[in-house]
């Protein structure tokens, strides 16, 4: 018998918790001017 996911209650094979968490996650990308006027990308 397959394991049941604690979060969504679906079997492990059908679990979509990780995909949903990945979709919700957002990245902030911006540039900052550092020493000597060089640009640095911050993620």
**Which pLDDT tens digit goes with each residue over 11-41?**
878 887 777 777 777 888 989 999 898 999 9
Give me the pLDDT at residue 33, please. 92
**Predicted confidence band of residue 6 (pLDDT cuts 50, 70, 90):** confident
In a domain, 1, yes or no: no
Distance CA 32, CA 43 (A): 11
In a domain, 5, yes or no: no
The total of structural domains in the chain comes to 1
In a domain, 3, yes or no: no
Q: Yes or no: say if 40 and 24 are a contact pair by the CB < 8 Å rule.
A: no
Torsion on CA atoms 6, 8, 13, 17, rounded to nearest 10? -100
* Range(s) of the domain holding residue 30: 12-42
- Cβ contacts of 1-8, under 8 Å, gap ≥ 24: none
Give me the pLDDT at residue 1, please. 59
Q: With H, G, I as helix, E, B as strand and everything else as coil, classify residue 27.
A: coil
Residue 10's CB: how many other CB atoms inside 10 A? 13
């Amino acid at each position: 018998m397959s394991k049941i996911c604690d979060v969504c209650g679906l079997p492990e094979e059908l679990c979509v918790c990780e995909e949903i968490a990945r979709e919700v996650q957002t990245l902030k990308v911006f540039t900052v001017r550092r020493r000597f006027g060089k640009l640095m990308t911050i993620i």
